[in-house]
Amino acid sequence: MATPEEIAKWMVGEVDAHGVLYQSDAASQIEDKFGDEFTPLNENGNLSIHRDVLKAFRNLSRDEVVWEGGERLWRKRESFDEPGRGQV
């Protein structure tokens, strides 16, 4: 069985390989690759990513990856990004 840290490493690898990782794509791929215990349904009935996985991902990628909430994706940090994880 996979650990949150192993899934987080996979997520970092996806961002590194493709430049971005959409939340919905990540959730469905995590369910397929690692099991549905890591993708609970949210209040709207959509797949989400378990908070332990997100915490491990944040710890592994803190300085290299940012979150774009409007697009619901993670991407590599650019020189023009503001400090912090979330970008507008």
pLDDT of residue 67: 96
Q: Is residue 79 classed as helix, strand or coil in its secondary structure?
A: coil
The fold for domain 4-87 equals Arc Repressor Mutant, subunit A (1.10.10)
What are the b/e assignments for 36-50, b being 16+ CB within 10 Å?
Answer: eebbeeeeeeebbbb
Task: Please give the mean pLDDT across all residues of the chain.
Answer: 94
Average pLDDT of the segment spanning 67-82:
94
Q: Where are the domains of the chain?
A: 4-87
Q: Is the pTM of this model over 0.95?
A: no
Average of per-residue pLDDT across 41-65 = 95
Q: Quick one: what percent of the chain has pLDDT higher than 90?
A: 88
DSSP string, 8-46: HHHHHHHHHHHSEEEHHHHHHHHHHHH-GGG--B-TTS-
Residues 6 or more apart from 36 whose CB is under 8 A from it? none
